[in-house]
Structure 1
Amino acid sequence: MLQEVGYVAGQHEVIAENLTTSVVREIQNQVRELKDERKKSLQEGARLQNILTSQLAALERSKKSYEKAWRDAEKAQDTFQKADADLNLSRAEVEKHRNNNSIKSQQCEEAKNEYAAQLQRTNELQRQHYNELMPSVFMSLRNLDNKRIQNYQAAMRRYVEVERDVEPIISKCLDGVLNAADAIEEDEDSRLVIEKFKSGFPIPGDFPFEDLSAMKSGESSTTLNG
């Protein structure tokens, strides 16, 4: 029976070894790969978000520049109109305001065009960001999660295969243990143990009573007779 139990223990060692090599290590490798791929996807998402954030900041700067240029142009035009209507100003002074008005108007137009270009660029990038780029990142993360679940499913199946590969052997060993258990006869086993370990010496007899008075009387009689 102990031999059969030893066989069962050996099969459990086989199970442990197979699980370590074909299941545990495989899962460890897969986890490492999935973590790396997930990290790359998250980094890509962060990169895309930074690009959009930078473009939004550029749009905001161009808008503020346009607003300032527009206010400056409005102010220059108002100043020129007042100067042109002022008969007390010299022609040179009026011409100075005319040139400043022209410059500010041109700067306003350039700022307006830059703002329009940044607005168009931002809207295009934003549409692409939310309709194509980020959905692609999210799909990648979803695929990774599906892959993780599939790997877990495969590991469970492999575990069952490892167990079932040795199941017939363990079952046979357990049958041997049951047969050995059924063959046990406690009375016969006890008899065999007694037969093996008995000393063979006879049972000692009773100890005799030693009467000290009789022993003393006997000694006195011997002395008188002598």
Structure 2
Amino acid sequence: MSLFITFEGPDGSGKSTMANLIYEELLKRNVSVIKTREPGGTRIGEKIRDLILDNDLSEMNMRTEALLYAASRAQHVEEKIKPNLEKGVTVLCERFVLSSLAYQGFARGQKIEEIQAINDFATDFFEPDIVFVFKTDKITLGRKDKGSYDRLELESTDFHKKVTKFYNSLEKKDNYFFIDASRSIEEVFKDCMSVLESEGGLS
């Protein structure tokens, strides 16, 4: 059975590291799997990503930003995510709709329900099977090289505090699995694999 698994959390919380480790582990277990990311994941999506994260485009309106994320996601779902799941391939994706609610909604001060609405339209209400939410008690952006920061990463400390607060205040849902990202990579990986084995049917 194929699964759609997403990795959510503030910048620097370990999403990419964990997605890579889980990808390698699933390959070892002979699971048919691909790894992708948002924004991006497709040729069109990657071009939209370049626009969204371009440091030279500081004048970008927050509604424009939200709509561009949703546009990239619409292409991603229809061109890459759904077709692979239909072929029995498990899809690991760094970020999905929750990221838009956190960044373009809560942190930007836009209405969460409006951001949810444009993403419901973009994805046709498509949802992940498993959402790993990486929680931290402090801003984790400092784990990344500041010289490589993109337009969103260059936002204010207050902006990133709001993102962290959003993820930490999420209420439990059936497909949400909260992971304490302040621990070692080994401990976080063990927790994630435990979820996949108990909830995802992986052996």
**Shorter chain as normaliser: what TM range?**
under 0.3
Structure number with greater CO (CA < 8 Å, separation at least 6) is 1
- Mark the structure with the bigger radius of gyration: 1
- Normalised to the residue count of structure 1, the TM-score between the two structures is 0.17
User: Which has the larger helix fraction?
Assistant: 1
